């Protein structure tokens, strides 16, 4: 049975869009997903499904949250192979020593006309980035919260997404591989 990872955007951030892991699991179970495991309270779940069309899962998850909790966070669903590929393509191996320095922004769709020049002009000298299909790698060794470029990524790409640091994506991969049957 295929394994997937769901990433919700802006869950339990600053007291907004509150969704407990228990409620998240219940919602996913109601969508007939199985072997569900969550990781930290920021909207990360690993699950399996026999659904023929996994492309519909983000919309189904978003709709279920809206119906039961009154808000509809962006939902990105990755197959195990998509997550493995995103990790394997990491252009910043230095992140292994400082996993909070690298964020992978998983995008809703491939940017059609990204403005990478603007990002290049406003990023700090220590920062670096790379766009690869539907994943944007942002390396910020001084911290994302202090980065002017970080705040402009989605606007410059023209597409929304949700970010996870290097430690989190590797933990999700470990959990997804353990779930794979």
pLDDT on residue 13 = 67
Give this prediction's pTM.
0.94
Strand order across the 3-8 sheet: 34-38, 44-48, 3-8, 75-79
pLDDT on residue 18 = 84
Q: State which residues of the chain have pLDDT below 70.
A: 12-15, 180-181
pLDDT on residue 180 = 66
pLDDT on residue 14 = 66
From its phi and psi, is residue 10 left (phi > 0), alpha (psi between -120 and 50) or beta?
left
By percentage, how much of the chain surpasses pLDDT 70? 97
**Nearest residue to 154 via CA among 9, 7, 5:** 9
């Amino acid at each position: 049975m295929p394994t997937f990872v769901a990433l919700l955007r802006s869950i339990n951030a600053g007291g907004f869009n509150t969704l407990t892991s228990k409620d998240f699991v219940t919602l996913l179970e109601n969508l007939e997903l199985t072997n569900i495991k969550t990781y930290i309270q920021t909207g990360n779940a690993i699950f399996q499904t026999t659904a023929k069309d996994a492309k519909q899962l983000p919309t189904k998850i978003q709709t279920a949250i809206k119906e039961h909790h009154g808000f509809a966070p962006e939902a990105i669903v990755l197959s195990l192979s998509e997550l493995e590929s995103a990790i394997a393509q990491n252009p910043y191996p230095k992140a292994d020593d400082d996993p909070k320095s690298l964020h992978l922004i998983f995008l809703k769709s491939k940017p059609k006309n990204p403005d990478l020049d603007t990002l290049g002009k406003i990023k700090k000298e220590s920062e670096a980035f790379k766009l690869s299909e539907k994943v944007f790698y942002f390396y910020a060794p001084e911290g994302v919260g202090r980065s002017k470029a970080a705040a402009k990524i989605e606007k410059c790409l023209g597409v929304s997404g949700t970010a996870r640091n290097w430690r989190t994506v590797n933990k999700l991969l470990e959990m997804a591989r353990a779930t794979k049957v």
